Amino acid sequence: MTTPPVLALDDVDAAYGPFRALFGVSLTVPDGGAVALLGPNGSGKTTVARVASGLLAPTRGTLHVGGEDLTGRPPHTIARQGILHAPEGRSVFGTLTVEENLVLALGGVGPKADIGAGLDRAFELFPRLGERRSQQAGTLSGGEQRMLSLARVMARPPRLLIVDELSLGLAPIVVEEVYATLARIKQEGTALLIIEQHVHHALEIADDAAILHQGRVAFHGPAGDLVDRADLLSGGLGR
């Protein structure tokens, strides 16, 4: 029996009031696989992430998680199915310590007895955070705050992790570190939907790729097929 994809969007339209952002988008993420979602600013990448995590209901089409139709269901329902979203930006509580940020996140997604194990995993994935566990999150560097926002969702490996513009504003050495961590959790079985403008890091880890252009899918197939598609990687995508 074939395992259904962990995430499947089928012929999805989405809008913000009168503004239509997605037009007939179909996209699948296989269980344990990684898909790079690429495209310039304004192409609809973040809207796909919001639909996939339940933050925005599609106006047409369906969302399936593990074969179950969750179209229009609220974010907490989708999160309970193991779909976690690390949005663009830092998304940390600046007045809380690193450890308090992690405990707050861990306390909301599983048994309290697992909080200690979750902390251990977070500090194993990001040793730099372990060195700053008692430091207020607002005093961390930008790269460290991005690590903390990721650690909050990676401490308990999700079924699917959606990461939005991971490399935005980060120093190259931090980007390398974070992508190495993504590769590790993928090896451990977490599926990834990686939303990026900067394609090379995403394509190194991805099995498949999709390119959005003006809210429509311009390409969806094996990531390796993009090597010879300079036409699709032009227009600012290859920066």
**Cα 16 from Cα 104, distance rounded (Å):** 31
**CATH number for the domain that contains residue 49:** 3.40.50.300
Q: How far apart are CA 7 and CA 67, in angstroms?
A: 8
d(CA 148, CA 130): 10
Structural element, H or E, at residue 83: strand 83-86
> Is 185 among the domain residues?
yes
Domain for residue 239, yes or no?
no
What are the start-end ranges of the H helices in the chain? 45-52, 75-80, 98-107, 115-125, 127-131, 142-154, 172-187, 199-205
pLDDT at site 238: 44
Q: Spell out the residues 6+ positions from residue 40 whose beta carbon is closer than 8 angstroms to its own.
A: 197, 213, 235, 236, 237
Query: How large is the average pLDDT for residues 6-10?
Result: 97
Instruction: Look at residue 32 and tell me whether its pLDDT is greater than 50.
Output: yes
What range does the domain containing 216 cover?
Answer: 7-82+158-228
- In the chain, the percentage of residues whose pLDDT exceeds 90 is 53
The residues pairing with 136 across neighbouring beta strands, listed in sequence order, are: 97
- How confident is the model over 213-218, as a mean pLDDT? 94
What tens digit of pLDDT does each residue of 71-119 get?
A: 999 999 999 999 998 877 667 888 999 999 999 888 755 555 578 888 9
Q: Which residues contact 116 (CB under 8 A, 6 or more apart)?
A: none
For the record, the structure tokens of 220 come out as 């969806």
Inter-residue contact 128 to 173 (CB < 8 Å): no
Q: What is the mean pLDDT of the chain?
A: 87
Residue 112 forms part of a structural domain: no
- Assess if residue 141 is contained within a domain: no
What is the pLDDT averaged over residues 153-171?
83
In a domain, residue 39? The reply is yes
Whether residue 30 is contained in a domain is answered as yes
